[in-house]
Amino acid sequence: MDSTSTRLAAFVKHFGIDYTCLLAGLTSELAAKIPQADRLNAWPTTFFVGRDGRVSTIHAGFAGPASGAFHTHLREEFTSTVERLLAQ
C-alpha cells in the first residue's frame, strides 16, 4: 500500500466512512481520468460516481465532527446522494 492509499484508509477509518471509496490513482493522472477535477486542489475531494460511470456530484473538503451542525448536514447530504445514486 503506498502513502496515498494508506492516508485514504486512515481517513476512512477515522471518520467512520461506511461506503466504498475509490482512489483514482496518482494526482498527476487525475485530470485525465476525471476531467471535472481539472485545477481542483482540495483534500479530501469526494466524487460521487453513478452506476453509469459518470461523475454525478463533486464535494471538496470535509466538515469534521468538531464543526457540529456542518458535520451533521454533510453526513446527511452524503448519505442522501449515495442513496439516490444507488436507487438509479
d(CA 27, CA 23): 10
Check: CB of residue 19 under 8 Å from CB of residue 12: no
* Band (79; pLDDT cuts 50, 70, 90): very high
Q: With 80 as the cut, is the pLDDT of residue 59 above it? A: yes
Cell digits of residue 29: 493522472
For 49, half-sphere exposure in the C-beta direction (CA atoms, 13 angstrom radius) is 14
- DSSP bridge pairs for 59: 46
Q: With 90 as the cut, is the pLDDT of residue 81 above it? A: yes
Looking at residue 74, its pLDDT comes to 92
Average pLDDT over residues 11-32: 79
Percent of the chain, pLDDT > 70? 97
